[in-house]
Amino acid sequence: MKLILLGAPGAGKGTQAEVISDALKIPQISTGNILREAVKNGTDFGLKAKEAMDAGKLVSDEIVIGILKDRIAESDCENGYILDGFPRTVPQAEALSAMGISIDKVLEVYVSDEKIESRLSGRRVCESCGASYHIEFKPSKVDGVCDKCDGKTIIRKDDSPEVVKDRLKTYHDQTAPLKDYYGKLGKLETVIGQDEVADTTKLVLKAVGVNG
């Protein structure tokens, strides 16, 4: 199964992608996590990506398409995958299609801009493995420590209120048109993000055909 998770920053697509990944035993591919890792390691494209990411803008299509191509060529992707944060522009979607990849379903997790602004202010991410938490809605067991790898959880630089506004604008301008793109292909299904993560998860699993 090949799935795309679509949603504004902070709508919870990463969290839901993790759940689907566990349920269907297919890898979650997060271009955001791959890019942050590259920035941390100071690789060539990490340096190029950093400026755009810190400003809440998109990294160039060329770079992310290259990253994605390499990642899906790995052996764990043979039985499918969940794309979390890719495609984010129509040209990226066209690139997938040009690679001959047929997507089974595009799941949109919808949350209003207003809610997103409050959610992102409480978000924490693990600096080692990228797992995502929220101080109120999804706290780690020990404050400041990742449940999965004992890494340190930190506030992402682009979760500051000013950058969040820019990220939302970028989403509406460049990514939201994908709803139309995949809607026309009959692949789009929208799930309304609930206040409780577990409630959203139920809807998401149902949408991908897993009875929880």
Select the binding partner of residue 48 from Zn ion, ligand ADP, none (C-beta < 5 to 8 A, by kind).
Answer: none
Residue pair 93/185 in contact by the 8 Å Cβ criterion: no
Candidates 40, 69, 148, 169: give the one binding Zn ion (CB under 5 A).
148
Candidates 86, 188, 193, 203: give the one binding ligand ADP (CB under 6 A).
86
CA 104 – CA 191 distance, rounded (Å): 16
Shortest distance (Å) from residue 154 CB to ligand ADP: 14
Shortest distance (Å) from residue 112 CB to ligand ADP: 16
Q: Which stretch binds Zn ion (CB under 5 A): 20-28, 70-78, 118-126, 184-192?
A: 118-126
Cis peptide bond N-terminal to 87, omega within 30: yes
Which position among 2, 119, 123, 124 bears the catalytic label? 123
Q: Does 132 bind ligand ADP (CB under 6 A)?
A: no
Instruction: Give the contacts of 83 (CB within 8 A, at least 6 positions apart).
Output: 2, 3, 4, 5, 29, 31, 68
Q: Could you confirm whether 167 is annotated as catalytic? A: yes
Residue pair 115/12 in contact by the 8 Å Cβ criterion: no
Q: Could you confirm whether 25 is annotated as catalytic? A: no
Residue pair 71/29 in contact by the 8 Å Cβ criterion: yes
Q: Does 6 bind ligand ADP (CB under 6 A)?
A: no
Burial status of residue 48 (CB atoms within 10 A of its CB: 0-12, 13-18, 19 or more): middle
Q: Does 69 bind Zn ion (CB under 5 A)?
A: no
Q: Could you confirm whether 119 is annotated as catalytic? A: no
One-character DSSP codes across 179-208: HHHHHHTT-EEEEEPPSSHHHHHHHHHHHT
Shortest distance (Å) from residue 126 CB to ligand ADP: 13
Positions that interact with ligand ADP (CB under 6 A): 9-10, 31-32, 35, 52-53, 56-59, 64, 85-86, 88, 92, 158, 167
